[in-house]
Amino acid sequence: MSNTVVLGGTNSKELAKKVARKINAEYGKLHTDKFPDGETYLKLPFPVQGKKAIIVEGMHPNPNEALIETIFAARTARELGAKDVVLVAPYLAYLRQDKRFHPLECWSNRIMAALLHFADRIIVVDPHIQRIPNLQSIFKIPAKQITANKLIAEYIQKNIPDPVILGPDEESYQWAEEIAETIRIEATVLRKKRYTSRHVVIKLKRDLSLKNKNVVIVDDIISSGHTMIEVIKQAKKQKAKTITCIAVHGIFAENALSKLKKAGATRIITTNTVVNTTSKIDVSPVIAEELREE
């Protein structure tokens, strides 16, 4: 892929470098700075004329900054003659505001998608798909969703003996069931009722026994951590042997990581779509695989 360059954004430098190495592309970091008034300055690391430019930028932390960086980079690469501009969003922000929950609210996911149309296409790792049929339904450019599920399944197989896989809510079946299937066990998806962003109630099924089991709770995102904490409480009540929380994207808002540890999680594991101390699963292999297939 010698005619291909990978440009790493502020949040995803290391991941972008790994992807570049895997697809034998030249790597460069997007140079960003702040003007004195707080506006974003951006410069490409080298010319991209006639090249395929792959921009890798996860949208956490600082989602608004990351979004601007991605838009500026895509448009600049296009203006400077890149023959193809591909966005890779290891974590794509604003997907959870996927409807107008209350009158007069901004329906953010579609607006965010429209802002990325300077690129030719976008690849997203495990987008949060809840009330939309798929990622493509909000994008006008081709949008491909890829998943870290097989990498998470491999991690569980290597590190957790006889796991019991739990998905905390109906949406988590996309992750929990596929991961469990790869390990050739069954997943149990629980029922969750969310009252506010900080108040959720989760019910365990009556016939589910977790006593002395290695419980693995799998979800796409840990944000406030309340979803995981509710399941941890139930697993502790049932005297589970160990409790591992695994998510693709570790947002850990409002000190969620220490809250999860305090609640009794034995281990907390995430991928490197968002960089954290918990990022033990590297998603560069699935991104590179997708880019090689294009």
Binding site residues, ligand R5P, CB under 6 A: 130, 168-169, 171-172, 200, 219-227
Q: Rank residues 96 and 241 by Cβ distance to ligand R5P and give the closer one.
A: 96
Q: Rank residues 233 and 241 by Cβ distance to ligand R5P and give the closer one.
A: 233
Q: Rank residues 87 and 221 by Cβ distance to ligand R5P and give the closer one.
A: 221
Q: Rank residues 241 and 259 by Cβ distance to ligand R5P and give the closer one.
A: 259
Distance in Å, CB of 250 to ligand R5P, minimum? 10
Of 18, 52, 192, 213, the active-site residue reads: 192
Catalytic residue status for 236: no
**Rounded Cα–Cα distance for residues 290 and 280 (Å):** 21
> CA Rg, the chain, in Å?
20
Q: Are 265 and 230 in contact (CB under 8 A)?
A: no
- Dihedral sign, CA of 187, 196, 94, 247? negative
**Rounded Cα–Cα distance for residues 234 and 200 (Å):** 13
Calculated CA dihedral for residues 150, 176, 11, 120, nearest 10 degrees: 70
Helical axes 149-159 vs 173-183, angle rounded to 10°: 50
User: Pick from 138, 150, 130, 137: which is nearest to 108 by CA?
Assistant: 138
Q: Rank residues 91 and 118 by Cβ distance to ligand R5P and give the closer one.
A: 91
Q: Rank residues 40 and 130 by Cβ distance to ligand R5P and give the closer one.
A: 130
* DSSP classification of residue 58: -
Catalytic residues: 192
